[in-house]
Chain A
Amino acid sequence: MTNSEKNRLKDKAFQVFGVFCTFIGLVVLAIFLIDILIEGFTRIDWEFLTNLPSRRASRAGILTAWVGTFWILILTSVIAFPLGISAGVYLEEYSKKNRLNSFLEVNIANLAGVPSIIYGLLGLEIFARVMGLGGSLLAGALTLSLLVLPIIIVTTREAIKAVPRSIRDASYALGASKWQTTWNQVLPASFGGILTGIILALSRAVGEAAPLIVIGALAYVPFVPTSPTDEFTVLPIQIFNWTSRPQADFLVNAAAAIIILLLITFILNGIAVYLRNKWQNKVKW
């Protein structure tokens, strides 16, 4: 065999390995989804969605968990969106190149890399203890808001960056102020991208369990939360709790709850992908 034949053979071999690697992740994903569906799908019925938790696996439901999850999503949105979008707008539209602002940028990149459980410790000390919110929905939502803030800031900046300079010039030349230009031109033009970032942030928040456990969210909450100061649980914590039990019946419950959680996650991500594509195709400057 000549050298060049050898090289071609190696090249071919790597190509096969590349296909194999690309598919291994997807195959694992598929096995996993099928396994969860087989195990949990038949467990999902109206009762499972509307029952309170119980010590008996067959009677336990996820009502408190999904209601808690939706509360957390809404509260986190209310707190994190205005803050994150404002910060993104400031850094992209207003800030000049100076030391404070380059420090801000490094700082936000750093925050994005802080493990979620550390945010839990922050929330435990500041929100749960110092502010006296305990293991309430509000404390949980505040903690998750800080966690997703960097995601919102970064995607807001990306979206704003994509708005062409010429649009701003046109607005300024007509006598518009900075804020008028930002509000009337830049934000509407970057709306799709900002929305995508917001939904990705929510999809991150919906799957978090660790920081909420640390601030004191409980696994067993026998009532449906009705106000932001109520104690709560969320789907990921409920799944964690059921997975940690030795009885096989609870694992079935966990699988069923995972199906619901994945459904929410995939829907959120699907919306984000849809919006991104729609927005990219909409305006060509």
Chain B
Amino acid sequence: MSKKFYKLESKNLNAFYGSFHALKNINMAMEEKAVTAFIGPSGCGKSTFLRTLNRMNDYIDGFRVEGDILLDGRDIYGRDVRVDELRKEVGMVFQKPNPFPKTIFENVVYGLRIQGIKDKRVLAETAENSLRQTALWEEVKDKLDQSALALSGGQQQRLCIARALAISPSVILMDEPTSALDPISTAKIEELIYELKQAYTIIIVTHNMQQAGRVSDYTAFFYIGELVEYAKTKTLFTSPKHERTQNYITGRFG
């Protein structure tokens, strides 16, 4: 039997902010074209872990990692890896919608522009495709040259997702992408996540257990820097192995 293929693997991963040990020996593998959710109380390390997957913590003073993160079998902390290339492969969506103070169009094509792509047709096509994928095209196609800051919060977040898709990554990291949105916008984003997993590997950090239950295939529970339990979402929510997981998902602490 051939070894199962995993999109992302974390092996003996430890992370530190200065002397603070933020992630303790994390071992887990994430499946391709599936949604994996990270849950756990604030400060448990789930966001830190998410941000090690595209090296967003690199610019933080005093942050360092030990161990390996393999993307398609290749260590992303390896010496020959270029961070900008990595981030084109692993896109990211943040907690609060953070469009650039530019037009809608310029937001979507920003990733292409910094790669030096100037061909107007390519830019326009990519913009349309990405906006269609996030179901935003119909809403904004007539105002592409207006400021992105004029959109509603939910639209801004979908724009940020479109912006991430425009550079055609294979993995998308989402750091509590709906925590700043209203329920209707949240539902739209969740629908979108469901669509996107046909083509992308999605890792999502969420505070909302129902959301993890609704959108994810796998769920990982973190507690004070440790990966306590990692299983199929259904299994983890119906028959958790650890008492801590049980307590957390039933709302006994958090």
Contacts and interface: CB of A to CB of B under 8 A. Distances in A.
Interface of A: 96-97, 164, 166-167, 169-178, 180, 184-185, 188-189, 283, 285
Given A166-B94, A180-B114, A171 B61 contact: no
26 contacts: A96-B61, A97-B61, A167-B100, A167-B101, A169-B98, A170-B99, A170-B100, A171-B100, A171-B110, A171-B114, A172-B87, A173-B87, A173-B94, A173-B164, A174-B114, A174-B164, A174-B167, A175-B84, A175-B85, A175-B111, A175-B114, A176-B84, A177-B84, A177-B114, A184-B110, A285-B98
B100 A173 contact: no
Nearest to B175: A169
Contacts of A189: 101
A98 B96 CA distance: 31
A173 B92 contact: yes
Contacts of A170: 94, 98-100, 160, 163
Please provide the 9 A-B residue pairs with the shortest distance between their CB atoms, ordered closest to farther.
A166-B98, A173-B92, A174-B111, A175-B87, A175-B88, A175-B84, A170-B98, A176-B114, A180-B114
A167 B111 CA distance: 13
Contacts of B56: 169, 172-173
A174 B87 CA distance: 6
Contacts of A174: 87-88, 91, 110-111, 114, 163-164, 167
B149 interface: yes
B178 interface: no
B59 interface: yes
A283 B150 CA distance: 11
Interface in B98-131: 98-101, 110-111, 113-115
Interface of B: 54, 56, 59, 61, 84-88, 91-92, 94, 96, 98-101, 110-111, 113-115, 149, 160, 163-164, 167
A173 B101 contact: no
Contacts of A184: 110, 113-114
Nearest to A168: B59
A174 B86 CA distance: 10
Nearest to A283: B101
A58 to B, nearest CB: 57
**Residue in A164, A170, A189 with the greatest tally of chain B CB atoms within 10 Å:** A170
A167 B110 CA distance: 12
A164 B94 CA distance: 13
A189 B94 CA distance: 19
Contact of B149 (A164, A176, A283): A283
Contacts of B87: 172-175
Contacts of A175: 84-88, 111, 114-115, 167
A177 B84 CA distance: 6
Contact of A169 (B94, B110, B149): B94
A167 B114 contact: no
**Residue in A164, A167, A173, A283 with the greatest tally of chain B CB atoms within 10 Å:** A173
B98 A167 contact: yes
Contacts of B111: 174-176
A173 B84 contact: no
Nearest to B90: A173
A188 B106 CA distance: 14
Given A173-B87, A175-B115, A180-B114, A166 B92 contact: no
A283 B113 CA distance: 23
A146 to B, nearest CB: 30
**Residue in B54, B88, B114 with the greatest tally of chain A CB atoms within 10 Å:** B114
A175 B86 CA distance: 7
Nearest to A177: B84
A224 to B, nearest CB: 45
A167 B94 CA distance: 10
Nearest to B147: A283
Contacts of B96: 166
Contacts of A173: 54, 56, 87, 91-92, 94, 164
A167 to B, nearest CB: 6
A166 B160 CA distance: 12
B225 to A, nearest CB: 22
Nearest to B93: A173
A174 B88 CA distance: 6
Contacts of A283: 101, 149
B111 to A, nearest CB: 4
Given A167-B100, A283-B149, 16 more contacts: A166-B98, A170-B98, A171-B100, A173-B56, A173-B91, A174-B87, A174-B111, A174-B114, A174-B164, A175-B85, A175-B87, A175-B115, A175-B167, A176-B110, A176-B114, A180-B114
A177 B59 CA distance: 11
